[in-house]
Amino acid sequence: MSKVIVHSLFSDFDIDLFKSGKHFKLYEKLGSHPMELDGVQGTYFAVWAPTANSVSVVGDFNNWRDLEHPLNVRWDGSGIWEGFIPGIGSGTLYKYNIHSNNFGIVTEKADPFAKYCEHPPKTASVVWDGDYTWKDEKWMDVRGDKNSLDKPYSVYEVHLGSWKRKENNDFLTYSELAEDLVKYVKEMGFTHVEFMPIMEFPFDPSWGYQLTGYFAPTSRFGNPEEFKFLVDKLHQAGVGVILDWVPSHFPEDAHGLGFFDGSHLYEHPDRRRGYHPDWKSLIFNYGRNEVRAFLISNALFWLDQYHVDGLRVDAVASMLYLDYSREEGEWEPNIYGNNENLEAISFIRELNETVYGNFPDVQTIAEESTSFAMVSKPVNIGGLGFGMKWMMGWMHDTLEYFKKEPIYRKHHQNDLTFSMTYAFTENFMLPFSHDEVVYGKQSLLYKMPGDEWQKFANLRLLYSYMFTHPGTNLIFQGGEFAQSSEWNYNQSLDWHLTQYEFHAGIQELIKDLNKIYKSYPALYEKQFSQEGFQWIDYGDAANSVLTYIRKGHKQEDDLIVAANFTPVPREKYRIGVPKSGTLKQVFNSDAKKYGGSGSRKSSVKTEKKSWHGFDDSIEITIPPLGIVIFQ
C-alpha cells in the first residue's frame, strides 16, 4: 500500500479563518475527500488534533494497523494533520489513531467530518464520493415565499425509524420513505416535515439526540444520496424539510468527539460548563473559535449540501443558562455575576446571522422552554436571531386544561386565555411534539377525559383550537390519527387504527384543518402580529366558551371562531361581530365525517343588536366539545 503524500487543501486564508472561528465551509477542507493527485486516484484526509503528537489513518485498507499511514502536521500552529493516501476510494472504512502529547494517551476516533458512517453499532467512518443530481429547482425558486413568516407553516414531526416499518420490523429505507412518506404528507396537507435527528448516532433509545456523526445522515436507512433523494422528493411534492439539530451536547462514546485528541478539544474543560448532568453528555466549548466554526459549518452543510429548508435547534435553554439543571455550587456565574452563558449566546447569534446571511430563504426554530427575551427577534436589536420559537408555555397550559373534566374547566379558563398575554412577544410555533407522548405521559388521545366519544371530541377540539390560535403548528407522527398508545421508537405507528371511524375522523379533521389554514389568509398573514387577533369574549368561564376573530390584511378575510369546551351544546348563543351581513360556516369540528354528532346551520345573518361592544351580533349553536369557524 502506498504511503502518505504531503498535500493540502488549505490556503493560508483558510487557516486564518479557521483560527478566528470564521471558516464556515470546513466540510470542504476537513474530513476525507476522494480526489486525483498528479494522475493518481486516492483520498485526502485532514483532521484537527492540536494536542496530538502523531495522527495516523487506520482502516480496512491497512488492516487497522497503527502508524502505517501517518498524517503530516501543518507548520502554522493550526493543529491540522493532513495528507493524501493513494489507492483509497469511496467505501473505504477508516478512523484516526491519535497519539496525544497529554501523558501518552492514545485515542481511536471516527472522523468528525465524515459524510458517511458504518451502520451502528459499528463505528468506523466511510470515505464517500457520492454524486447526486437535484430535481427540485421549482421548489428552491419559491421556497423563500413558502418559508416566509406570513405564509402557512404546518409541520409534521417524524421519527424515521418508527413512522412505518416493514412486517418483519425492519426499517423502511430512505428510498422507500420517499414513496410512502412523501405521498402521505402531501395527502395530509402539511407544508413541512421535521425530521428528528438524522445525523449519525450510536444509540437507538437516544432517538438521535446524542450525535457522533454530525455531517453524516444515519446509515440505518441508506446512504447520503438516498437521503438527498428523500429530501428531493419532498421538495418536488411542495413540502419543505426541517432537520432537528443538536449543537447543545454530544455523547461520551469512545469514537466520538469527547476527549478527541487526548484533550478537551470540543467540550468545555470545566465540568461545570462542559458536562450535562441530565443527559450525561458533554457540552461544546462555545468560546473556542474552532468549535464555533465546526458547528456553524455543520449548520450550513445541511442547508447547502442537502437543500434543507430549516433547522429546529434542540435544547436551546440548556445552552443559554450556566445553571441549567444544576444545583447551587455546581455552576459558576459569568463575569457579570449572573447565570447567562455569554459565550453560548454569542455563538447562537453568530449562528443565526450566518445562516440567514447565506440562506435568507430558510428558517431557524428554537426549542427554548424559558422566558428568555427576544429569542426570535433580530440580532441587530438585541435578539438571538431565530425565525421562530416553540411555544412551550402554551402547550403545557393547554394540555393541563384539556386533562380536566369539563365540569371543572370553568374554574381554569385562564389556562387558555393566558397565552394571549404574551403570544406576540415572539414568533411562536405551537408544538404537540414527541416529548408529550412518552415516559408515561400517555398519548394525546388518552390525556383527554370522558368516555370514548368525549375523548375524540376533546382531541378534535384541541387540534381545532391549535389551528385557530395565532402562530404556526407542529404535530408529532401518530397524533394526526389519534394513536392511542404512547410513542415507541422501536416499532411502527399503529396504522391499523385508521380503519376505525373515530381515528379516521381525526385524520380527516387534520387534513381539513391544514386545508383551511392554507386557504384562509386570516389564519397566517398576521399569525405573529397582535393585529391578527381580537377577542370577542374571553370572559364566559361559566359556559367555558371562547370567541375571537382572526384577521388578515383584508377585513373581508376575517374569521369568527367560537369554541365550546364542555359536552353541553350552546344553543342560541349570541356573539358580537364587527360588521353586518351573512356569515358562512367554513368549519365545524363536530361534523359527522370527523366522528362528530353532525353539522349545524351553514350560514347565519347578523342582527342589529349590539353585543360584546359591537353594533351587530349573531345567534349560533356551538356544538359540544367543538369549534365552529365563520367567514
Express each pLDDT in 568-598 by its tens digit: 999 999 999 999 999 999 999 999 999 999 8
pLDDT of residue 580: 94
Q: What is the residue extent of each domain of the chain? A: 12-126, 153-523, 530-630
Phi and psi at residue 280, in whole multiples of 5°?
Answer: 50, 50
Class of residue 154 by CB neighbours under 10 A (exposed 0-12, middle 13-18, buried 19+) = buried
Report the SS3 class of residue 324. Answer: coil
* 157 close to 477: Cβ distance less than 8 angstroms: yes
Instruction: Name the average pLDDT for the chain.
Output: 96
Contact 386, 367 (CB under 8 A): no
Distance CA 185, CA 193 (A): 8
Distance CA(268)–CA(495), nearest Å, equals 45
pLDDT at 350: 98
Three-class DSSP category at 234 = helix
State the virtual CA torsion across 518, 523, 528, 534 in degrees, nearest 10: 180
pLDDT band at 8 (very low <50, low <70, confident <90, very high): very high
Asked whether residue 30 carries a pLDDT value surpassing 90, the answer given is yes
In 3-state terms, what secondary structure has residue 55?
A: strand
Task: Please determine whether the domains at 153-523 and 530-630 fall in the same fold group of CATH.
Answer: no
> Are residues 136 and 146 in contact, defined by beta-carbon separation less than 8 angstroms?
no
The burial class, CB within 10 Å (0-12 / 13-18 / 19+), for 335 is: exposed
- Fold designation for 530-630: Immunoglobulin-like (2.60.40)
**Is residue 60 predicted with pLDDT exceeding 70?**
yes
Q: With H, G, I as helix, E, B as strand and everything else as coil, classify residue 485.
A: coil
Residue-wise pLDDT tens digits, 473-530: 999 999 999 999 999 999 999 999 999 999 999 999 999 999 999 999 999 999 999 9
Q: Identify the residue whose cell numbers are 474543560.
A: 269
What are the residue ranges of helices labelled H in 471-565? 501-519
Task: Report the C-alpha gap between 590 and 599 in whole angstroms.
Answer: 7
Q: Give the DSSP H or E segment for 227.
A: helix 224-236
Measured CA to CA in angstroms, residue 477 lies from 107, 163, 166, 366, 443 at distances of 40, 7, 17, 20, 11
Q: How far is CA 9 from CA 40, 91, 125, 505, in A?
A: 16, 21, 20, 58
Rg (CA), the chain: 27
- E strand or H helix at 226, and its extent? helix 224-236
Q: Rounded to an integer, what distance in angstroms lies between the CA atom of residue 588 and that of residue 623?
A: 8
pLDDT of the residue at 599:
67
For 109-156, what is each residue's pLDDT tens digit?
A: 999 999 999 999 999 999 999 899 999 999 999 999 999 999 999 999
DSSP 171: B
pLDDT at 409 over 80: yes
Reported as a single tens digit per residue, the pLDDT across 223-280 is 999 999 999 999 999 999 999 999 999 999 999 999 999 999 999 999 999 999 989 9
CATH 2.60.40.10 fits 12-126, yes or no: yes
pLDDT at 2 over 90: no
The cell numbers describing 253, all together, are: 462514546
What pLDDT is attached to residue 598?
A: 86
Can you give the pLDDT at residue 103? 86
Residue with cell 456553524: 296
On the CB side of 494, CA atoms within 13 Å amount to: 15
- CATH classification for the domain delimited by 153-523, as one of 3.20.20.100, 3.30.590.10, 3.40.50.300, 3.20.20.80: 3.20.20.80
Chain centroid offset of residue 62 CA: 40
Q: How confident is the model at residue 61 (pLDDT cuts 50, 70, 90)?
A: very high
Burial classification of residue 410, based on how many CB atoms lie within 10 Å of its CB (0-12 exposed, 13-18 middle, 19 or more buried)? middle
pLDDT of 104 reads 87
Residue scoring higher pLDDT (356 or 2): 356
Confidence tier at 28 by pLDDT (50, 70, 90):
very high
**Residues marked as catalytic:** 314, 367
